[in-house]
Structure 1
């Protein structure tokens, strides 16, 4: 990377950390500069507006999430994939026991996308990657009509993650919820 793209990436990383720690309202050019270890002028040089800064941060987050979830989906294509492996993938998605600012930032960004239609396409791209992973897992578990149910599974994961964020519930609650769901889902017949 060039020094300019290193600086730009440092700014984006700082924005995501700030959002995760204190929300979008805390994103100011001065705070970004301090957090990124760059001059105030660098922030305004690389990003002319707050909207551009938030959009680029969301796009960066989406690209990382899409890459991560697509790789996880590819791992779920083993013909011997079972409920135990599904639980491991879900635990990985849940992020273990630490629910840090990296886990909080997506909620803030998606709420912002709900307020700003210019960010919705980027959010939709990320949800498509989530749906792909859910559909692969459901397919491997023999759940009928996995593409139709993928969005429901993703919504359940997000709801459980939001609950976890708000209450401090352990990641195992998410895994347990999804295992219960698959237990009651009818299985496909050959």
Structure 2
């Protein structure tokens, strides 16, 4: 059998255990009928959609008013809480290393972060790999937290009980962390010190 250039590659044989598991799952699904809790399940789905809408409203408001994406704000928060390398920022924010490196570089270009050498770096010509918040970055973090609180307050004044509960859950998803005076550097003092 010859494979032409336009043909997709052959599909690898499925693991027999995986196939058996999928087959059993299909049989169970075919043999069940929705129980009396279907209303509760549909209500959960509706609640989830409302939470997502509330989260988008808050995130969109903070992003619009600060001019920064949520990932950028999360990266700033991670650095404020002690992360000093893009890989550490990636771990704390759930970003891929490459995405975090790009985010950190963008924040450096915007003047919100600054780069410095590791204290044990012997090559003065090497590119600095560690980062720290600049005063401008600290101000943006304080501003973003104030905006988030003002948005929550404004929205909370217009909501009833269940909607307010949904907004609380959405606000937790947006929590950028409390801006605290924590040690800023894992790898040593910043270049400005």
Q: TM-score, normalised by structure 2?
A: 0.30
More strand by share: 2
More helix by share: 1
Q: TM-score, normalised by structure 1?
A: 0.31
